[in-house]
A and B are shown apart, each in its own frame.
Chain A
Amino acid sequence: MSKHTFTSKTFLSIVLLLIYIPIISLVVFSFNDSKSLIQFTGFSLEWYVKLFESGTIMDAVFTTILVAIISTIASTLIGTLGAISLTKNKKWLREWILNFNNIPIVNPEIVTAISFFVLFGAFQIERGLMTMIIAHIAFSVPYVVITVYPKVRQMDADLISASSDLGATPLQTLWHVILPQIRIGIIAGAAIAFTMSFDDFVISYFASSGSAVKNISIYLYTLKRGIEPTINALSALIILVIGMKITFDYFKTQKNLMEEEE
């Protein structure tokens, strides 16, 4: 619609440049053939080899992926079913549940982290992988609910009555009628849950403190000696995966937009 002026274009380019320079330099130095993170001395894949040889880093990567997968499946399931049942709750109860639901979303991470730390401490539950997973499920469920619940509300209620009138059991109605209609919300919720879990630091750190369990973030934070370019190699791989996903999403939305325009 409106064309950007020269000033606003310059401003945009500068900000984007500032955002991306660190990320690009991170990737560039993953190919450095010396240990320096400041001077590029030549191209090598040495750090990628070292990355896959490092047991501790690979353990952290494995923990991160394991926790993300388990907590995504659990929170998507719990959150989706919870969102469906919300519509059946009485109004006051639903409002209370949704208010509590929003607490971990609006609170800064450290508040949620402290709350889990206190919870596991008070009940003398030993912190470790299990508590980390529980914490991840707990902070992901509210996001799944706020993503899925609007879709449940948009659903055509007549279809559900029609389904039960035609003799479907509640379970059949859920599986064949309700879930397909809110599919987009469920996928979006699961995607949010996965990324939140994958990137989480503060909550994981508090929820598993005192144990040897480390995800990527905790590994980076507790690293005693200076960071090596192996970390850059790991980052570059993560950035590659995220970049591919985002590019894919971008072209998908562009395609959808074009179809809408037609």
Chain B
Amino acid sequence: MDDRPDDRREPRAAAVIATPAFTELVRSRRRFVLPATAAGFGAYLVIIVISGFTDALSGPALGVVSWTFVLTALVFPLVWLLTGLYVRRAQRWDELADEAFAEAARGSEVGR
């Protein structure tokens, strides 16, 4: 953001990428985002594929309500759970981004 003090010079992209904090940021993000995407999209697709090609989920689960309806309804809390986990982890990623820039700036001062 623009409201940062001016004495912090912008470092080079390669210097930021080389910092341990940035490596950790990218790895940690990927380690959460890929499984979360697979879980959310995957759960939905599995319900759709099974319901589309078979009658396995057509039977009643709760009273007159079928399994396919109940499972689709359960996608909602799954999405909320993944949203909550993402938002909580993202605070750590914000810190790592700050660290990466601070480390890169220190590194370039040492090099000069």
A binds B: no
Q: What residues of chain A have their CB less than 8 Å away from a CB belonging to chain B?
A: none
